[in-house]
Amino acid sequence: MPLTPLVYWAQRHEEIYLRVELTDAQDIEVHANDTVLEFRGQGHGAKGLNEYEFSLELLHPVKSEVKHRSTQRQVNITLQKQQRGWWSRLTDQERKPVYLAPDFDRWMDESDAEMEIREKERKKNKTSRQRTNWLSNYKTGFLLLYNLVQFLGFSWIFINMTVRVFIIGQDSLYDTFHSIADVMFFCQILASVEVLNAAFGVVKTGVVPTLIQVVGRNFILFIIFGSLEEMHNKPVVFFVFLLWSAIEIFRYPFYMLASLNTEWKTLTWLRYTVWLPLYPLGVLAEAVAVIQSIPIFDETKLFSIPLPKAIGTSVSFSRFLHIYLILMFLGLFFNFKHLYRQRRKRFSVKKKKAH
């Protein structure tokens, strides 16, 4: 006839722990069915080597998954409560079985358990904060490096062009593309990252305004200037590059400081003011470049769309450029409105803080 082993128990808000005093236990079977726990096994217990078993009517339901682990000295059982909470006792009967006793090595009262939970939550929150800080530091480092590289690139362009005008004079306007284009290509390709930053929330800025500016500039740089060798010696290249770089040498250092939660008031004012005349002038220079390229596209048939002979020879790319000119000024209106709203919001907040 199976005997009953000594059983010690303890609890947490989510779990029940049982320690069965059975040495060198073998053939262990543990089952939990709602509020009933059954145990059977063989080993050295209180009455020597024998078969031992017990059955407990639990106070509240537990999950059917039971974890048990045998050691040389005992069998450890872990039950998961179906509802998180503190049990006043283990069994449904008020009078506990004689073989059942508290496990004082693991025992704690409800207040101790609450403290343990709070400690776990504190550690969890600390880990979460550390992860957040790591991501924040990574984002700060990325934005700082990105804006620094762009600032250095556009500064080199602006300074190089300015110095060349003073040294060479008017002739420097005609070879701007050959001397500056490589760096401008690099900076404008890198500027495409700003669209991704806006789309994925790395920076808090609108995706559409950023996309309009990046696509618009890259169209002028790669299609109008890059694909037409006849445009390389045009003075309009100088004015487009100069106006672009003049805006960016204030914008990127502003973002550098912003990534470090730092502000220089003079730079802030320049970032939100310089674009007022320079941005429309830049679009005007881009429009001039597009107008100058139209006869060249008509002559070279570059990017023209061939049509069946019954309809015609081809659709010239210049037709698209006429439409693009209209879109340019619509984009100017949209972005100018967006930037002006940003400027008014920025300085109205400053005035409110001052009051």
Query: Chain centroid to CA 164: how far?
Result: 42
- The two tokens of residue 183 are 């760096």
Phi-psi group of 121: left, alpha or beta (phi > 0 → left; psi -120 to 50 → alpha; rest → beta): alpha
- Using alpha carbons, list the distances in angstroms from residue 254 to 242, 265, 305: 19, 10, 44
Pairing of strands 36-45, 23-33: antiparallel
For strands 305-306 and 314-315, give the pairing: antiparallel
Residue 147: how many other CB atoms lie within 10 Å? 21
Q: Which two tokens stand for residue 118?
A: 């709070």
Give catalytic residues, as residue numbers: 279, 286
Backbone CA torsion sign across 261, 266, 271, 273: positive
CB atoms within 10 A of CB 332: 19
Contact assessment for residue 153 and residue 251, using Cβ atoms and an 8 Å cutoff? no
Residues composing the chain? 355
For 232, residues 6+ apart whose C-beta sits below 8 A from its C-beta are 177, 178, 181, 225
- Return the closest-CA partner of residue 244 out of 220, 262, 265: 220
Distance CA 138, CA 141 (A): 5
